[in-house]
Structure 1
């Protein structure tokens, strides 16, 4: 395939572009920032550029990973999120579906963040008596910030273009894989690495696994037609753990991984007192055929 990857200079793009190349695909990277994995410097907001790249390069597949992300909320205004996340997505979809286009599949990088309301985020402090179990059946959504609102709007555009034009689209709602420090909702004072390790229990994956999920989605898109998947490390928890997770998360984790306390103690690490949500990526395993390779068990093995 001749694959256009947007956001190719970003954290995901730098892993995804070489991974697609190893798969035998010819990749065109598009990003406003130059980089080793970017061949066209520019933005998805530039409709003429998007049209030119898709047509002149003979693009047959698009992976749309470019976005203004949650860490940008403090540095970019709302209109920038709308321009990149909504208008940029529309530009790509319209050019992909235009007469004469050779694009036959589209993979959209979305986020589990759009599923989290302020009430869920408040967790135990907001009076919740159990963690929220989150899978693809969850509805309705009440995103708590401009990032979530614009990604949800972009998802709806993907659905619409599949309805109207039968463009195969796979939407991947990835949980956290960014390297930036936590937003303090569950922050641990000792280290960002401690926080990230804990998150593999319920809301994180590696960037390598995120890239691999996109490779699988690209291969399955025409077979699937349209679908949305949560992509996150497999959680060791079950629904019946949710009450214990909100009240006393370390006790639940200790029951499942009794060795974790000693491994953590050697580094001065601690577990979150309370966990407010659990992302269930089981449907991605069953339908898409993808499961993250790295989870909390692998994190503990690495600590050994």
Structure 2
């Protein structure tokens, strides 16, 4: 299948592109900055460019992973988020319909579900259990607002034209340090997040591949992507009060293994992302989870996730280098 992949120079794109090729797909990468898997330099906000790329490359399906992200909020005005995240998405799916494509994948984010009360901590009932039916959805910043608007736009085009749509709300998979959490930080924080809100970039790429191939059976649906949590909804109250006790029941040696690294387990967990719909509907389940972290600690092998505190997105690196000229 000839696939247009936007965001091909980014963290997800550079992992997803070779995976798609490995499975027999022909990729045209589009990004605003150069990359090993980027064939076209340009923005999705350029409607004429999108239409030209669709025709010249015979595109049969679109995976739209490109976007302005949360860290870009301090660097770009709100209008830029509307232009790229909303108008750009609409440009792509309308061009896909015009070209006769039967499937469109949209990389969204669990961030749009983190409204003010979720960000403030657990509810009176305990940890928030966040699946695709979690509501109301009230994004807290322009990034979340525009991603939610883009989701609604692709659903509208699906209803009008029947193109199959998979909306993939990914949990965290970035390699850099968190910009808000100082303690714990680094690898310790990423390991903890595999309990409830993170996945590896390899698993995120695998989910996109699986959704692409299953799109005709999906029709139109939204999916949370995260490592499978080792908890049940019935654990929500205790997770918000004593997460370590819940973890100890599932992984009796977790505390001891963490101690060998000088790490700490979370005292409380205030939210849990539930990715089970993706497994039910198109057979995807993350290969790496919190148990994979503990296995690596036991065996002295590499951790299952990437950690790079010096990672800089390609667009930020390009702008930095330009300023140094």
Compute the TM-score of the two structures, normalised by the length of structure 2.
0.89
Is the Cα–Cα contact under 8 Å of residues 177 and 185 in structure 2 kept in the other structure? no
Contact 1:210 1:231 survives alignment (8 Å): yes
8 Å CA contact retained: 1:9, 1:35: yes
Deviation at 1:222? Answer: 1.5
Q: 1:204 aligns with which of 183, 194, 198?
A: 198
Matched, 1:181 2:177: yes
May I ask how many residue pairs the two structures share in their alignment?
298
Q: Of 263, 277, 281, which residue of structure 2 is paired with 1:283?
A: 277
1:114 CA drift (Å): 1.0
TM-superposition CA deviations, 1:55-101 (whole Å, max 9, x none): 11100000000011122222222112111110110110111112xx1
Report what 1:112 is aligned to: 110
The answer to whether the aligner puts 1:274 opposite 2:268 as a matched pair is yes
The whole-number CA distance in structure 1 between the counterparts of 2:266 and 2:72 is 25
Classify the secondary structure of the residue corresponding to 1:266. Answer: helix
Counterpart position of 1:137: 133
- 1:132-281 equivalences under 5 Å are 132-184=128-180, 187=181, 189-281=183-275
Taking the aligned partners of 2:185 and 2:113, their CA distance within structure 1 comes to 27
**Distance in 2 (alpha carbons) for counterparts of 1:60 and 1:17:** 16
Deviation at 1:189, TM superposition (A): 2.6
| Residue in 2 that maps onto 1:66 | 66
Q: Report the alpha carbon displacement of residue 188 of structure 1 after superposing the two structures with TM.
A: 5.2
Mapped to 2, the partners of 1:25 and 1:159 lie a distance apart of 25
Name the CA distance, whole Å, in 1 between partners of 2:125 and 2:221: 32
Offset of residue 190 of structure 1: 4.7
CA distance in 1, matches of 2:276, 2:227: 10
Cα distance in structure 1, aligned partners of 2:175 and 2:45:
25
Which ranges of structure 2 fall in alignment gaps of 5 or more residues? Answer: 299-325
1 CA distance for matches of 2:282 and 2:65? 19
Taking a change above 3 Å as real, the CA distance of residues 190 and 173 of structure 1, as seen in their structure-2 partners, is closer
In structure 1, the residue matched to 2:89 is 89
Query: How far off its partner does 1:213 sit?
Result: 0.4
Give the Cα–Cα distance (whole angstroms) in 2 for the partners of residues 85 and 191 of structure 1: 30
Relative to structure 1, the CA distance from residue 145 to residue 128 in structure 2 (aligned partners, 3 Å threshold; closer, same or farther) is farther
TM-score, scaled to structure 1: 0.95
Aligned-pair CA distance for 1:288: 1.5
Quote how far apart the aligned CAs of 1:271 are.
1.5
Q: Which residue of 2 aligns with 1:299?
A: 293
